[in-house]
């Protein structure tokens, strides 16, 4: 199975990365909820009637290519976005 490099030289398999990303997203959503009492899109502020995604600022693909795979599950690299803002972000 392919593995991807972290900046400390260690390597992670896709299976491990997926698990860590799931965990980071959960923490991100929980942190926002704890701080504000509800979840919302960090770009436009919409909070209901829409589906919220956890979107990567630096894409997972880029993190792997840069040999900084740990960025993929860094909570600071994840922004909560509504579908619309997520699509806009991914096009840039
Ligand atoms: Zn939005």
Question: How far does residue 81's CA lie from ligand 1's centre (Å)?
Answer: 5
Mean pLDDT estimate for the chain = 95
- This prediction has a pTM of 0.90
As a whole-number percent, the residues of the chain with pLDDT over 90 amount to 90
The predicted model gives 17-22 an average pLDDT of: 98
- Which pLDDT value is given to residue 1? 75
Q: Each residue of 55-78: pLDDT tens digit?
A: 999 999 999 999 999 999 999 999
Question: How far does residue 68's CA lie from ligand 1's centre (Å)?
Answer: 27
56: left (phi over 0), alpha (psi -120 to 50) or beta: beta
As a whole-number percent, the residues of the chain with pLDDT over 70 amount to 99
> How many C-beta atoms surround the C-beta of residue 64 within 10 A?
20
d(CA 25, CA 53): 9
Distances (CA, A) of 77 to 1, 2, 63: 26, 23, 10
Question: How far does residue 91's CA lie from ligand 1's centre (Å)?
Answer: 14
Are 40 and 46 in contact by the 8 Å Cβ rule? The answer is: yes
Locate 33 and state its tokens: 């909820």
Q: Domain limits of the chain?
A: 3-91
Question: How far does residue 5's CA lie from ligand 1's centre (Å)?
Answer: 32
């Amino acid at each position: 199975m392919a593995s991807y490099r972290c900046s400390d030289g260690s390597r992670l398999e896709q299976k491990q990365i997926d698990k860590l990303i799931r965990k980071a997203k959960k923490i991100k959503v929980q942190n926002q909820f704890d701080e504000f009492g509800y979840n919302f899109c960090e770009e436009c502020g919409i909070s209901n009637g829409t589906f919220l995604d956890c979107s990567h600022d630096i894409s997972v693909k880029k993190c792997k290519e840069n040999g900084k795979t740990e960025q993929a599950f860094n909570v600071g690299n994840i922004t909560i976005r509504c579908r619309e803002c997520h699509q806009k972000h991914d096009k840039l």
